[in-house]
């Protein structure tokens, strides 16, 4: 955005402004609007990067409990459906890869759990009960 898209858009707005009447100039109006959107996104991302903290799961000291970065294998209380999840940041979450955000209901229920614990949490399908089978920090 900073190196490619924004400079090209600035050049387009500059060209559109040189055409004269800006009140009915679609390139100018749209360009300025898009420029504001890009600047807002850049500010947002810069603030996110400034406050970001790199967490290395393998450096976790208390590996007996579930914390941020843990890879947790769980199964339904009846032992039928076994799944593995990694608790990650909001920007890294991808449910199809088993990477769930630390603010997801399942993650919040799993935090501080230990192997063998049975956890109850509210899912979109209703109240669920799961057992923690394994906790790893890779």
Residue 58 CA to residue 86 CA, distance in Å, equals 13
- The model's confidence at residue 59, banded by pLDDT at 50, 70 and 90, is confident
67, 132: one domain: yes
76, 126: one domain: yes
Given a cut of 90, whether residue 91 has pLDDT beyond it is no
78 Cβ neighbours under 8 A, 6+ residues apart = none
Check which CATH number belongs to the domain holding 13 and give it.
Answer: 1.10.287.180
Residue 36 CA to residue 11 CA, distance in Å, equals 15
The count of domains in the chain is 2
pTM tops 0.75, yes or no? no
Residue 138 CA to residue 84 CA, distance in Å, equals 13
pLDDT of residue 58: 76
127, 68: one domain: yes
Given a cut of 80, whether residue 60 has pLDDT beyond it is no
- The model's confidence at residue 84, banded by pLDDT at 50, 70 and 90, is very high
Given a cut of 90, whether residue 123 has pLDDT beyond it is no
108, 124: one domain: yes
Given a cut of 80, whether residue 79 has pLDDT beyond it is no
75, 44: one domain: no
Task: Name the average pLDDT for the chain.
Answer: 90
78, 117: one domain: yes
- The model's confidence at residue 71, banded by pLDDT at 50, 70 and 90, is very high
- The model's confidence at residue 124, banded by pLDDT at 50, 70 and 90, is confident
Given a cut of 90, whether residue 80 has pLDDT beyond it is no
Domain interval for residue 44: 5-51
Question: 69 in helix, strand or coil?
Answer: coil
Q: What is the pLDDT of residues 13-41, one digit of tens each?
A: 898 888 877 888 888 889 999 999 999 99
């Amino acid at each position: 955005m900073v190196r490619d898209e924004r400079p090209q858009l600035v050049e387009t707005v500059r060209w559109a402004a040189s055409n004269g009447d800006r009140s009915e100039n679609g390139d100018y109006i749209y360009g300025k609007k898009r420029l504001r959107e890009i600047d807002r996104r850049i500010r947002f991302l810069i603030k996110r990067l400034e406050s970001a903290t790199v967490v290395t799961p393998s450096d976790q000291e208390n590996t007996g409990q579930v914390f941020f970065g843990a890879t947790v294998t769980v199964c339904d209380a009846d032992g039928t459906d076994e799944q593995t999840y990694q608790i990650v940041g909001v920007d890294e979450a991808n449910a199809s890869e088993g990477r769930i955000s630390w603010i997801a209901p399942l993650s919040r229920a799993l935090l501080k759990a230990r192997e063998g614990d049975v956890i109850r949490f509210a899912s979109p399908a209703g109240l669920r009960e799961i057992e923690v089978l394994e906790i790893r920090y890779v």
